[in-house]
């Protein structure tokens, strides 16, 4: 069985950038931090399980905030009700 690390096309870099995450089907935002980042995606911790292939909107809270759409590639429970989520960038949200 391949682990998420073995399937990566781009190296990830550790970062701590504030983000807001919401499911495409939901308006509720969750404030989190990017854990690591690459050209093709990122990982972050989340309080809920996200289904593989689920789409999420990610607002990156930098000096000039911008939004991206991502697809859940993997979601692993790290502690009870604490999940690490791997996202593949899909496109920038207009």
63/94: higher pLDDT: 63
| 3-class SS of residue 1 | coil
| pLDDT tens-digit series, residues 75-90 | 999 999 899 999 999 9
Report how far residue 86's alpha carbon sits from residue 76's, in angstroms, rounded to the nearest whole number: 9
Q: Please report the sign of the dihedral spanned by the C-alpha atoms of residue 64, residue 35, residue 45, residue 42.
A: positive
Domains and CATH numbers, the chain: 15-92 (2.40.10.220)
Whether 21 contacts 55, CB under 8 Å: no
Whether 56 contacts 22, CB under 8 Å: yes
| pLDDT tens-digit series, residues 16-67 | 889 999 988 888 888 899 999 888 999 999 998 999 999 999 999 999 999 9
pTM attached to this predicted model: 0.78
Report how far residue 59's alpha carbon sits from residue 61's, in angstroms, rounded to the nearest whole number: 6
């Amino acid at each position: 069985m391949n682990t998420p690390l073995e399937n990566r096309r781009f190296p990830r870099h550790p970062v701590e950038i504030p983000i807001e995450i919401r499911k495409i089907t939901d308006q509720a935002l969750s404030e989190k931090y990017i854990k690591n980042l690459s050209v093709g995606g990122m990982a972050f911790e989340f309080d809920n399980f996200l289904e593989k292939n689920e789409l999420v909107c990610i607002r990156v809270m930098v000096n000039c905030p911008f939004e991206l759409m991502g697809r859940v590639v993997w979601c692993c429970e790290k502690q009870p009700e604490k999940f690490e989520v791997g996202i593949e960038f899909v496109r920038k949200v207009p």
